[in-house]
Amino acid sequence: MKKSAALALVIGFLLAISCADKKIEVSNQPATPKLIGPKKRVGIFAFKNKSRYGQDELTRAAVDILYSELEKSNRFELYERADLNELEKEFDLIESGKVNPASAGDPGKLPEVQAVIIGGITQFGRWEEGKDYGFYKLKSEIAEAAVDIRVVDVATGRIIVADSGMGRVEREQEQTFGFGEAGSYDETMADQALRAAIDQFIANLIERLNETPWEGKVADTDMSGGQQIIAVNAGRKSLMPMGAKLVIFKITGKITDPDTGALLGYKTQSSGSAEVYEFSGEDLFLARVTSGGAQKGDLVVLEGDAGKF
């Protein structure tokens, strides 16, 4: 009997070592689409935390995860919060009702990003569940997070896409005959739950942003050999193809809803065309104006997307 008890104790000890501290994470991340045209310029605002847990730690983690996933796709030029401070203040004023969206933007002085991502952590929780069978105990530590995002066209305030995700992670600890209990608090579970939530919508987010027509702005103009040259605020890192055909638009006014006064878009007028021929660093390319003319602040779009403006 003593030998049997000792053998059972050894087996229980080995079982506990082999099974203790399991982690289960559910994630569903479909393959991301191929790049359509040059990279779009996208900003990420600071997330808002509507849960009662973590506050700044959670929001910073959510932004870092989203930034990392978008960066890995290699489809966007990303701008951090420091680059978007004034724009973020303007959006906050619009959403609080303190500023009319029809008067918020200034034609010809639009921010350099095409779209911004506004996100929020709407739910977060951590708890433990356990089962006790006497000689065998099972404890599960669980974390759940819900994340909502909206992608907003900076020029018009139009929502390009709205989506959400729910993430759940579990960490199991087993104890057999008193052996195998880890008991340590896993600080990474909050990040894991946020990542699992973001994984649920990241492919759709990338696809919708990817399908958005590329826009640039004329940063400067010059003359060379009797031909106008424009410098556009996108360079080598934008992956703009050499020889790409562009259409130039002047912003001539705003279009607002007659009932609400909300900004619906801008009046534009085609003023010329151009062809890309050279990069001038990471953030500028040069194009020869082939017809018409351009001024600093004019919009430029790919020829194939001109009908969308």
pLDDT in tens, 174-208: 555 454 455 555 678 889 999 999 999 999 999 99
Q: Point out the domain boundary residue: 177, 211, 245.
A: 211
Supply the CATH number for residue 99's domain: 3.40.50.10610
Task: Report the CATH number that the domain containing residue 301 is assigned in CATH.
Answer: 2.40.10
The region of weakest confidence among 118-132, 191-205, 244-258 is: 118-132
User: What does the pLDDT read at residue 286?
Assistant: 96
Tell me: do 110 and 236 sit in the same domain.
no
Residue finishing a domain among 211, 236, 260: 211
Do 278 and 285 meet the contact criterion of CB atoms below 8 Å apart? yes
Average pLDDT of the chain to the nearest whole number: 78
Q: Give the domain extent around 230.
A: 215-308
Burial class (CB in 10 A: 0-12, 13-18, 19+), 117: buried
* Residue 148 or residue 251, greater confidence: 148
In this structure, the answer to whether residues 76 and 199 fall within a common structural domain is: yes
pLDDT above 60: residue 109: no
Do both 62 and 194 map to the same domain?
yes
Contact (Cβ atoms closer than 8 angstroms) between residue 79 and residue 8: no
Identify the H or E element spanning 208. Answer: helix 189-211
Whether 149 maps to a domain, the answer reads: yes
Q: What is the pLDDT of residue 84?
A: 66
Compare 87 and 175 and report the one with higher pLDDT: 87
Rounded to the nearest 10 degrees, how much is the dihedral formed by the CA atoms of 63, 65, 71, 73?
-130
d(C-alpha 46, C-alpha 85), whole Å = 10
Q: Residue 124 above 80 pLDDT?
A: yes
Residues in the chain, how many? Answer: 309
- Is residue 229 pLDDT above 70, yes or no? yes
Let me know whether 247 and 125 are in one domain: no
Q: Is the pLDDT of residue 13 over 70?
A: no
